[in-house]
Structure 1
């Protein structure tokens, strides 16, 4: 198996660690360990008591129960904790798919949601989200795309990079369409609780026997460096992923599992402030769009902390984004990383003052 380079990750390697202002990432502002200890009431003695031995293959009992209670159906047997959502995606798709299978996947999409299938020798049928439709998914088209060779429908809502999401009735229709067709529904829910005009959507595991949902502490909880993700699925499928995991990461660290358990039990304490900050930044972005309507336009993001605006007069925004990074130390992600080069991924989850400065610099560059 040989993977092609992932354009998004290549871009982030270039500029993520050197940029002074980040308006391109898709998560909220990061927390420190001191922040976690203060917010969650973690005492030094609790950390000192952790023995750094091996953990179990699917995760320790406490962290699996905490994840099941917060994000799943309450059944810890349906939980596997992983090294971020990326490991969960890789393990699940590599276990589920065989060469010659087909999947239906959203376009644009986060790269690993499609590249794993392609590298395994599977066909990927694109289910496009179109700006002219307000990035509302076409369920009629989904029905047409599913055929006898379809093994899974792969989605991520709220969506990266557009900020699109589903109304509850649309969520129910998606679950029903895939369940009736007898295909797996692989739902990346990295941004599940980052919603701006409604409540988080119900996990599909409640009403779809072949649902597989994937989550992470990286995006909505400001803990990308903790590298904690999870997969919620039928216990038999989780067990089959271990043949691959036994040759990769084996398990998580008990220290990481301890912190993840406390975060899951106190998730609202971390989420509330960061979501409020993102919504304030979104209002700043709306005003910036109104003030700069001659050079940019966007479909309103309904979830997550990124938008996918079009920059007028730029058929390919890549050089503009290079210029922002090199001359102004501003990280912005070109739409070419998601197959739509006239757009950019613009993240609004970070601190308010740098976000406003980054928008100001972007506006000045666009008006030169």
Structure 2
């Protein structure tokens, strides 16, 4: 059922809402294993020497605290004419951008499958969605010919997220160049969700597209690669002339971020490599474990290789809908995974592989046990 803003229910959030707090073993997450406040305080002497105690809880600037914005700019290296705006996670940035830029009837290209915010928010403001299919028969590898086919003179925005959630698909550097050229030639504006930018395995992280094209907004967050989802801090890099429109809408929503979360976020971004590098190394090991496990199933689990991010999107042979399997995993083993129905592919499951290694192994073993011996007729769960 749609709400007052005509936003459909977010199937992924509905699935996780209660189950997330019931699970003993979490192999559902699209972000790396989380850090603690103590981990952050260890990075910055100021946080240990009274800076937190001296913090004044006043409202912050509409575009965000200068220290955090400067840290993001130093990390992202935006192009000329671009500014940084910090937000309540990248979800707020996406909401503000789509509401500021889209008018009813505008065509918006979105990947399919997609994280719900990328497609549903555009549809809620009256956009006509043009799906860019990432095809399972091709391992979800992005095909730019498919993108070219859905672009038109009426395309207002092209929304992408590479690395991709839930599949882990990614364009390579040459593919990024071709993608930017296609969007720029179309006259559309690019919305680049870079939540997983730093989590890649086959090439260096893709540069922020604002370095190469002007009609571009890019988004980042501490929730995925930084292991700090509870801070609820993200950002948007956008052309300076568009910033007043986003701020105007924000005046009716959140006004600004908390100075406490912006201080902690600034420390995190200033020490980004220290936080990301060990989690990326752990995710690489987790990816290897997951792919090896899938290979040992003799085709029962078909798993496209994730080129980025920390989730895989395997298909389960002979299972038309993994929802019941995911329910059994939680009820019988305390293991949380996400059924593919949350992304329009019910025969698949989203599995996160950046959790602690022991959790991943327990989760995969539980899946193997359920695939080998499903409960008999009438068994609970």
How big is each residue's C-alpha offset from its partner over 1:233-269, in whole Å with a ceiling of 9 and x where there is no partner? 1011122111210000000011111111111111001
Q: In 2, distance between residues paired with 1:336 and 1:73?
A: 37
Instruction: Identify the residue that residue 9 of structure 1 maps to in structure 2.
Output: 13
CA distance, structure 1, for counterparts of residue 360 and residue 239 of structure 2: 41
Q: Please give the root-mean-square deviation of Cα atoms over the aligned residues, in Å.
A: 1.3
SS at the partner of 2:241? Answer: helix
Alignment of 1:1-368 (within 5 A): 1-41=5-45, 42-73=47-78, 78-368=83-373
Unaligned runs of 5+ in 1: none
- Moved beyond 6 Å, runs of 4+: none
Q: Deviations over 1:304-340 (max 9, x none)?
A: 0000000111111111111111221110100000001
SS of corresponding position for 1:39? coil
CA contact (8 A) 1:89 1:112 kept: yes
C-alpha distance in 1, partners of 2:80/2:234? 17
Q: Which one is further off, 285-294 or 162-171?
A: 285-294
CA distance in 2, matches of 1:135, 1:7: 21
Shift in Å, 1:74:
7.2
Residues 164 and 170 of structure 2 are in contact (CA less than 8 Å); yes or no, is this contact kept in structure 1?
yes
8 Å Cα contact 2:81-2:239 kept in structure 1: no
CA-CA distance at 1:185 after TM superposition:
0.7
Give the superposition deviation at 1:366: 0.8
| Structure-1 separation of matches of 2:179 and 2:155 | 15
Tell me if structure 1 keeps the 8 A contact 2:303–2:312: yes
CA distance in 1 between partners of 2:265 and 2:71 (Å): 9
Distance 1:251 1:76 in 2: 22
**C-alpha distance in 1 between matches for 2:24 and 2:237:** 37
Q: CA deviation at 1:196?
A: 1.0
Q: Displacement of 1:44 after TM fit?
A: 4.0
Q: For residues 63-109 of structure 1, what are the alpha-carbon distances to aligned partners after superposition, in whole Å with 9 as ceiling and x for unaligned?
A: 11111110232779610000001101101111110011010110000
- Decide which moves more: 320-329 or 65-74: 65-74
Give the TM-score normalised by structure 1: 0.98
Cα distance in 2 between the residues matched to 1:89 and 1:130: 25
Runs (5+) with no aligned partner, structure 2:
374-381
**Kept after mapping to 2: 8 A contact 1:295/1:312:** yes
Count of residues paired in the alignment: 368
Contact preservation (8 Å) 2:303, 2:314: yes
Please tell me whether the aligned partners of residues 68 and 75 of structure 1 are also in contact (alpha carbons under 8 angstroms): no
